[in-house]
Amino acid sequence: MLRHVRLTACIVATTVLVLSGAPRARAQQPLPPQAWLFGAWIGGLFPPPSVIGAQECLAQPVVIFTRDIVMRITIVDQAYTQRLVETARSTGNGVEFRFDRPLQVAQSSPFGLTQGGSEVGFGCEDPDVLHVQRHGDNEISFPGCPEFPYPLIRCPAR
């Protein structure tokens, strides 16, 4: 009987420790300053549509923000260009991203000529910096980036 009580007390104590420690561990990890941007966005290269469904929007987003990477589409490439986030700093009305230097991967053509080599950014004054200005919960712009003359809107969830 005493053994059963000790075992039950041990299980209860372990459960209490695990359950009480789990919420604090999650609460101690603050969200990064760009967390409100996470997701897919459309527009920027062209005027954003006034009404768009989630399926249509998610089929062709222009920019995708994640915790560590910002991806963008270009008109001339089929794949998204990915930039690794070095730092993200809140600016009061948006976020300033600084990106790691991209790896210069030269693709060779059938004749041995190299292609590419240009730095890929967002068409701003510095390819390794992106300023994001918040206009609302679902609208942003990239000021000073001529490749993105129009605002971007968040793709709806449904």
- pLDDT, tens digit (0-9, with 9 covering 90-100), for 83-108: 999 999 999 899 999 999 775 554 54
Do residues 22 and 44 share a domain?
Answer: no
Residue 150 lies in a domain: yes
63 closest CA partner among 146, 12, 132, 137: 132
In this prediction, residue 18 carries a pLDDT of 34
Question: Are 22 and 57 part of one and the same domain?
Answer: no
pLDDT tens digits for range 102-138: 755 545 445 544 444 445 788 899 999 999 999 998 9
State the sign of the Cα–Cα–Cα–Cα dihedral 13, 18, 23, 24. positive
Yes or no: say if 61 and 155 are a contact pair by the CB < 8 Å rule: yes
pLDDT tens-place string over residues 10-65 = 333 333 333 344 444 455 678 888 999 999 999 999 998 888 899 999 998 999 99
Q: Enter the tokens of residue 35.
A: 């967390």
73 and 123, same domain (yes or no) = yes
* pLDDT of 28: 63
Q: Measured between alpha carbons, how far is 7 from 13 in angstroms, rounded to an integer?
A: 10
Number of domains present in the structure of the chain:
2
Q: Which residue segment(s) compose the domain that 59 sits in?
A: 35-102+118-154
Confirm whether 94 is domain-assigned.
yes
Residues 72 and 137 occupy one common structural domain: yes
Please tell me the distance from the alpha carbon of residue 100 to that of residue 128, in angstroms, as a whole number. 7
Same domain, 68 and 143: yes
Q: pLDDT of 61-80, one tens digit each?
A: 999 999 999 999 988 888 89
